[in-house]
């Protein structure tokens, strides 16, 4: 393997005539790859950056982290377009699921079109992109005024593409892995309602809005699941709610977010009264959307949230939205003593770790509580021991 760095010269540069110059065209670093049978090249503004990149590539080649790319000369921009087309066609799917959600595909398309396609990193070949390139791209987005959340969303399709390439054994080096990206998400605990707050908030709403919000507070369905819920999904006889579908604002009915999203949620007595009255009042039945604007048209979340906000402002109550109501249901399950596995099932989480990550701070088990429970347990065990055994 041979490598080198050469200075690039502008057109008409006197260096081509053997004279000295102060040319600012930059430097090209090159590394010969025996595996690829070619030189891997990249240009830089300064020599130090070229030297650093070359050393990085050499280490990756030595460790076998950079696979041959001579059969695929695509740039990252071209590869992302093909990747997103495969997502839409269903030939590329997320791990453990049949298809990507339509909203995810639209989000990836938007990020690729508005930000990635015009960036220098999009012109690099797939196997030549390094972690430093992606970190630099993220910094450029922040410097251009993008919010932390926007930067994270823009990087999502790149990360998904490289994860897919790794899983398909097209690459063994993932430059998008281990990048510390800003999320823009608050570290504050999620706002949840107490049982009395939830009841007061629901009763402050117009009669036609109460069943929807009661289902959000007392069954924990996601917004799309509430939009797609049908009348026949309410099993009053078995006291169950069957969650089988989601809703996309463009595509309409879609599959649940994950396999675990298709589930049965207990129909609480407090919620049953709201739904029973709603079914009678609206006459919805069978495949009719339970909370739709019409039996076949889903409600607009912005409209529902807006009506609730105005009602709660008038009553001087705290503000919630549908997803915060979902968090309240999880907290009620925890307060009622439900075990984490049941909480995972009712919330539709595909992994128990998700339940712990999202609601672990609400689960019993603080240092003081654990100490008190252990002290009480051990003291009780000691008192139950036979006096002769203790003397022995």
CATH number at residue 203: 1.10.443.10
Helix (H, G, I), strand (E, B) or coil at 163: helix
pLDDT at position 51:
84
Blockwise average pLDDT, block size 10, the chain, 392 residues: 65 56 71 70 78 80 57 81 92 81 92 93 90 91 89 93 86 80 55 90 97 97 96 95 93 84 94 96 96 96 95 95 91 88 92 83 64 73 58 52
Shared-domain flag, residues 22 and 122? no
CA-CA distance, 330 to 347, in Å (whole number)?
A: 7
Q: What is the per-residue pLDDT across 220-279, written as a single tens digit (0 to 9) for each?
A: 999 999 999 999 999 999 999 999 999 998 889 998 877 888 999 999 999 999 999 999
* DSSP H/E element including 5: strand 3-7
365 three-class SS: coil
**Structural contact between residues 278 and 383, judged by C-beta atoms closer than 8 angstroms:** no
In this prediction, residue 391 carries a pLDDT of 53
Check: CB of residue 245 under 8 Å from CB of residue 253. yes
Per-residue buried b or exposed e for 13-29, using 16+ beta carbons within 10 Å of the residue's own CB = eeeeeeeeeeeeebbbb
Residue 106 lies in a domain: yes
Are residues 248 and 102 both part of a single domain? Answer: no
For the chain, what is the domain count? 3
Domain range for 18 is 3-62
Same domain, 315 and 271: yes
- Contact between 53 and 42 (Cβ < 8 Å): yes
**pLDDT confidence of residue 386:** 58
CB atoms within 10 A of CB 237: 7
Same domain, 201 and 252: yes
The angle subtended at Cα 142 by Cα 136 and Cα 147, nearest 5°, is: 140
């Amino acid at each position: 393997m041979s490598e080198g760095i050469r200075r690039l010269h502008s057109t008409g540069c006197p260096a081509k005539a053997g004279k000295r110059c102060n040319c600012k065209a930059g430097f090209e670093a090159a590394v010969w790859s025996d595996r690829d049978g070619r030189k891997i090249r990249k240009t830089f503004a300064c020599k130090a950056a070229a030297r650093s990149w070359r050393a990085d590539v050499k280490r990756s080649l030595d460790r076998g982290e950079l696979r041959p790319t001579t059969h695929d000369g695509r740039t990252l921009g071209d590869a992302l377009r093909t990747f997103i087309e495969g997502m839409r066609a269903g030939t590329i799917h997320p791990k453990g699921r049949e298809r990507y959600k339509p909203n995810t595909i639209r989000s990836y398309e938007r990020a690729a079109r508005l930000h990635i396609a015009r960036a220098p990193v999009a012109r690099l070949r797939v196997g030549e992109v390094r972690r430093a390139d992606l970190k630099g791209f993220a910094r450029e987005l922040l410097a251009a005024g993008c919010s932390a959340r926007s930067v994270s969303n823009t990087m999502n399709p790149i990360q998904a593409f490289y994860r897919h390439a790794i899983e398909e054994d097209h690459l063994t080096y993932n430059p998008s892995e281990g990048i510390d990206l800003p999320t823009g998400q608050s570290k504050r605990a999620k706002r949840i309602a107490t049982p009395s707050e939830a009841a007061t908030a629901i009763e402050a709403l117009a009669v036609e809005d109460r069943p929807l919000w009661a289902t959000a507070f007392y069954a924990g369905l996601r917004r799309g699941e509430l939009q797609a819920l049908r009348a026949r999904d309410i099993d009053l006889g078995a006291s169950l709610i069957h969650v089988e579908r989601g809703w996309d604002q463009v595509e309409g009915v879609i599959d649940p977010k994950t396999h675990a999203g298709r589930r049965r949620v207990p129909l609480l007595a407090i919620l049953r009264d709201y739904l029973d009255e709603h079914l009678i009042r609206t006459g919805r039945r069978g495949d009719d959307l339970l909370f739709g604007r019409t039996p076949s048209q889903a409600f607009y979340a912005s409209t529902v949230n807006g009506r609730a906000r105005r009602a709660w402002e008038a009553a001087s109550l705290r503000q919630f939205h549908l997803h915060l109501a979902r968090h309240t249901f999880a907290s009620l399950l925890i307060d009622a003593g439900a075990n984490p596995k049941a909480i995972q099932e009712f919330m539709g989480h595909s992994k128990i770790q998700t339940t712990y990550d999202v609601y672990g701070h609400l689960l019993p088990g603080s240092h003081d509580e654990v100490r008190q429970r252990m002290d009480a347990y051990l003291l009780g065990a000691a008192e139950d021991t036979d006096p002769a055994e203790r003397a022995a």
